Amino acid sequence: MAKKNFDLLWQVYNYIKAHRKEWDQEVWARKPTNPEVTCGTAFCFAGHVVLATYPQAIPVWWDSHTVSGKLLADRVRLGNNRQYDISVLAQKKLGLTYTESLDLFAATNTLTRIRGLITKWERQDGPVRSS
């Protein structure tokens, strides 16, 4: 089993807590379709993990026609121009099992629930934060 990256878990949690308008747990990534609108881009927890660890990541946007005026992304393109699932990259970077990633990335999660999961895992695995 991979070792959980608690530093990254808390870094992303604290970033989202301080920048709530950039967080939307219901979708991997979303942005307005109007190019003149520069605000409104948001990412779920996994999306923020990928952005924090792969600064060169470019979301692969698509129009779902179900979220009016928004483009969505569930994949990113990295420097090698290959596409990767946001959830898979984030799971690996965080050192989570598949089941743990399903728990953390659930669309219905609140920040309180996410904090509770991280805290529970820290208690189970032992405190390993470097800060």
72 assigned to some structural domain: yes
**Structural domain boundaries, residue 41:** 6-125
Q: Which of 18-32, 65-79, 94-108 has the highest mean pLDDT?
A: 94-108
- Domain count of the chain? 1
- The chain-wide mean pLDDT, for the chain, equals 83
Residue 99, in any domain of the structure = yes
Taken in order 7, 17, 122, 57, the sign of the CA dihedral is negative
Determine, yes or no, domain membership for 131.
no
Give 19-52 pLDDT, tens digit per residue.
988 888 877 677 666 555 455 566 789 989 998 9
